[in-house]
Amino acid sequence: MMGEQERGPGEVVWSEEGVPLAPAYQDVYYSRSGPGQGDLVFVEGSDLPARLASGEAITIVETGLGLGINLLASLRALVAAGRGSMRHASVELHPLTPAVMHEVHARLGRMDAETTAFLSVYPELLARGSASLRIGAHTVPLQLVVGDGAAALRQLDLRADAVFLDGFAPALNPALWSPEVFRELARLARPGASIATYTAAGGVRRGLKAAGFDVERCVGFGLKRHRLAGTRRPGGA
Ligand SMILES: C[S@@+](CC[C@H](N)C(=O)[O-])C[C@H]1O[C@@H](n2cnc3c(N)ncnc32)[C@H](O)[C@@H]1O
């Protein structure tokens, strides 16, 4: 696949439906059915609202920060819960420049407090690999490793409570859905950690299972019939 593995800033063009698309992968940054994918697949799929409402401190690890849509959906869940706490760590091979990130969100037109807070720390996150995002009474530590899939995940040292698996379509972006990536995610995920992804592709299901995750098919978002949600099996693969 052209562009895959090569570092470089993420590019964004707009699909006919008005969805941001990465030309190097010929795929959209989120579902053509809308950014609500972040809420259903990742926030609901990880049961974040209930977990936060119960006061849980949740460390999220995500493959592909992209536009930060899933991070923003998670922040909104945190603010709505008014309890619990959150940290977010992600890997990204093609981070958007701050200017492009700003342009994309300006065009998407949801400049709420969460988006403004994210955009204000994004330059620091990109430059230093970490930043502290403040929203309401919450301080949310953010970490970003710029690099390729498994190698980038290897640089993280944390115990994840929730895994967001969000590359471009597996057939177009195999490096982010590899057995090595799944193994690294299994290393980072604590026993019982949740895992969520928008795809239910057989290879992804089998790969996650082999790495130590139990996943089930659930009703998908928009045009997708199914997605996957599950947990890290206790006791390894
Ligand atoms: C579907 S988009 C992610 C959308 C994002 N989660 C969001 O909420 O906006 C997939 C992301 O994975 C990144 N990516 C693709 N291949 C990668 C790789 N080998 N390693 C790390 N990131 C990669 C892309 O640059 C893109 O930003």
pLDDT, position 4? 45
- Is residue 8 very low, low, confident or very high in pLDDT (cuts 50, 70, 90)? confident
- Is residue 5 very low, low, confident or very high in pLDDT (cuts 50, 70, 90)? low
Residue nearest to atom 2 of ligand 1 (CA): 29
Pocket perturbation via mutation, ligand 1, pick of 6, 43, 76, 94 by most ligand atoms within 8 A of CB: 94
Nearest to 159 by CA among 61, 55, 91: 61
209-237: average pLDDT? 92
- Which protein residues are within 6 Å of ligand 1, measured from CB? 10, 29, 38, 62, 64-70, 91-94, 148-149, 152, 166-168, 173, 175-176
Tell me: the pLDDT tens digits for 146-185? 999 999 999 999 999 999 999 999 999 999 999 999 999 9
Contact between 127 and 146 under an 8 Å Cβ cutoff? The reply is no
Token digits for 88?
């977010």
Pocket perturbation via mutation, ligand 1, pick of 65, 118, 145 by most ligand atoms within 8 A of CB: 65
pTM of the entire structure?
0.96
Torsion over CA: 189, 158, 59, 10 (sign): negative
Tell me: the pLDDT tens digits for 15-47? 998 999 999 999 999 988 888 888 999 999 999
Contact between 126 and 91 under an 8 Å Cβ cutoff? The reply is no
Tell me: the pLDDT tens digits for 87-139? 999 999 999 999 999 999 999 999 999 999 999 999 999 999 999 999 999 99
Q: What number of residues does the chain have?
A: 237
Domains of the chain: 13-232 (3.40.50.150)
The torsion angles phi and psi of 78, rounded to 5 degrees, stand at: -65, -45
